[in-house]
């Protein structure tokens, strides 16, 4: 069965517990976003999954192969992009990828074909013969990413894959990850919330080495306090009567003023619970009055609010 099973991974650095009893399973087709503030233990967890550092306790199974007991077999199945994309500066791009292809067991003529194919896939053809130390940060990142997918691994571990890229490059990398995902198990770490929305089918939030949330991005967003709230913008009006009018509506908890300028008044109306739908009654109530309604929308909730709530509570 194609999956990665993480079992009770724990890591002590001296007396400091960087990763605390982390367990989860990722299946084929899933893209797991590993979220957390800096220093949460994301990289340390990934380093244990890939066999770079030995866990203090627990282990990881890569497609059934134990990364400690059966390390070589497990490592064969993995592609890994470490944080900061380390690559040998004194090699050219093509030589570096050729080296990686040898290590992955490819022999000519397949080796050259693999290298060429990977150069194309990662938009590296223009720098094929360039020395790596002369490349920009974005290109270095892509060279290292190329290395991780060269052997078309079933299991892909990416530590901050879009770190240091410009928005266009970010978009390209995310697209690549999404395209590959149906045949793969992918774990990527990030502290960028947009990224989770853009690529991940599931998110695990980790804080102080512990898992504090594990859900789809939508489910996480639903935990946001603003989830289900109705935002309205109306033409100039005195706020107080309007607030009173809206708060009286059945199912509404409170109403707050978001912004008030000479032309417009922007309000947010909160429902009493996650499941109460208030949009229709809010609109109906507004239509009765004589204010000009300029826009109405229902908030989906915001990941950054959830992220902040969850990761600051756990201290």
Partner 1 sequence: MNKQSLRNVWAIYTRELAGYFGSPVAYVFIVIFLLLLGFFTFYVSNFFEFGQADLRGFFQWHPWVFVILVPAVAMRLWAEEQRLGTIELLLTFPVSLPQIMLGKFLSAWSFLGIALLLTFPMVFTVIYLGQPDMGGVISGYLGSFLLAGAFLSVGQMTSSMTRSQVVSFILAVVISLFLILAGYPPVNAVLNGWGAPMVLVNLISDLSFLTHFISMQKGIIDLRDVLYFASVIGFMLFAGAVVIQNRRIA
- In the complex with Mg ion, the residue whose CB is nearer, 41 or 301, is 41
Measured in residues, the chain has a length of: 315
Query: Could you tell me the smallest distance in angstroms from the CB atom of residue 40 to ligand ADP?
Result: 4
| Separation between Cα atoms, residue 63 and residue 73, nearest integer Å | 10
**Which sign does the torsion angle of CA 70, 73, 79, 82 carry?**
positive
C-beta of residue 154 within 8 angstroms of C-beta of residue 185: yes
Chain residues in the site for partner 1 (CB under 8 A): 47, 50-53, 72-73, 75-76, 78, 80, 82, 84, 86-91, 95, 99-100, 102-105, 107, 144, 147
44 is a contact residue toward Mg ion (CB under 5 A): no
List interacting residues with ligand ADP (CB under 6 A). 13, 18, 36, 38-44
Binding residue for Mg ion (CB under 5 A) from 43, 50, 147, 148?
43
36 binds, among ligand ADP, Mg ion, partner 1, none (CB under 5 to 8 A by kind): ligand ADP
- In the complex with partner 1, which residue's Cβ is closer, 17 or 75? 75
Sheet containing strand 16-27, edge to edge, reads: 16-27, 3-13, 57-62, 65-66
Q: Which of partner 1, ligand ADP, Mg ion, none binds 118 (CB below 5-8 Å, type-dependent)?
A: none
Phi, psi at 47, each rounded to 5°: -65, -30
Give min distance, CB of 209 to ligand ADP, in A: 7
Q: How far apart are CA 274 and CA 265, in angstroms?
A: 25
Task: Pick the piece of the chain touching Mg ion (CB under 5 A) from 36-44, 202-210, 224-232, 271-279.
Answer: 36-44
C-alpha closest to that of 267 among 246, 289, 252: 246
| Contact predicate 33/195, CB 8 Å | yes
Virtual CA dihedral for 204, 181, 129, 125, nearest 10 degrees? -130
In the bound state with partner 1, the residue whose beta carbon lies nearer, of 103 and 258, is 103
CB 234 within 8 A of CB 294: yes
Closest separation in Å from C-beta 99 to partner 1: 5
Closest distance to ligand ADP from the beta carbon of 19 (Å): 7
Residue 50 touches Mg ion, criterion: CB under 5 A:
no
Choose the stretch contacting Mg ion; rule: CB under 5 A; options: 43-51, 104-112, 198-206, 289-297. 43-51
């Amino acid at each position: 069965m194609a999956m990665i099973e993480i079992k009770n991974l724990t890591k002590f650095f001296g007396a400091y517990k960087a990763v605390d009893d982390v367990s989860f399973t990722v299946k084929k087709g899933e893209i797991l976003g590993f979220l957390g503030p800096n220093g949460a233990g994301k990289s340390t967890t990934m380093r244990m999954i890939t066999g770079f550092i030995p866990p203090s306790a627990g282990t990881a199974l890569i497609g059934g192969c134990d990364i400690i007991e059966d390390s070589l077999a497990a490592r064969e199945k993995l592609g890994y992009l470490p944080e900061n994309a380390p690559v040998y500066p004194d090699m050219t791009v093509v030589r570096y990828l050729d080296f990686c292809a040898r290590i992955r067991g490819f022999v000519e003529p397949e080796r050259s074909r693999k290298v060429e194919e990977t150069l194309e896939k990662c938009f590296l053809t223009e720098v094929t013969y360039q020395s790596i130390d002369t490349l920009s940060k974005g290109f270095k990142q892509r060279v290292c990413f190329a290395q991780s997918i060269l052997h078309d691994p079933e299991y892909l571990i990416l530590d901050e894959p879009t770190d240091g890229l410009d928005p266009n490059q970010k978009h390209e990398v995310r697209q690549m990850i999404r395209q590959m995902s149906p045949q793969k198990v992918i774990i990527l770490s990030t502290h960028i919330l947009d990224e989770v929305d853009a690529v991940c089918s599931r998110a695990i939030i980790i804080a102080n080495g512990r898992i504090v949330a594990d859900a789809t991005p939508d489910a996480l967003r639903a935990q946001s306090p603003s989830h289900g709230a109705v935002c309205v913008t109306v033409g100039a009006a005195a706020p107080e009567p309007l607030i009173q009018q809206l708060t009286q509506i059945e199912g509404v908890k409170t109403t707050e003023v978001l912004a008030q300028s000479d032309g417009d008044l922007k309000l947010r109306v909160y429902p009493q619970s996650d499941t109460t739908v208030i949009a229709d009654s809010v609109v109906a109530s507004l239509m009765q009055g004589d204010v000009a309604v300029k826009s109405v929308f229902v908030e989906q909730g915001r990941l950054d609010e959830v992220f902040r709530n969850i990761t600051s509570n756990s201290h």
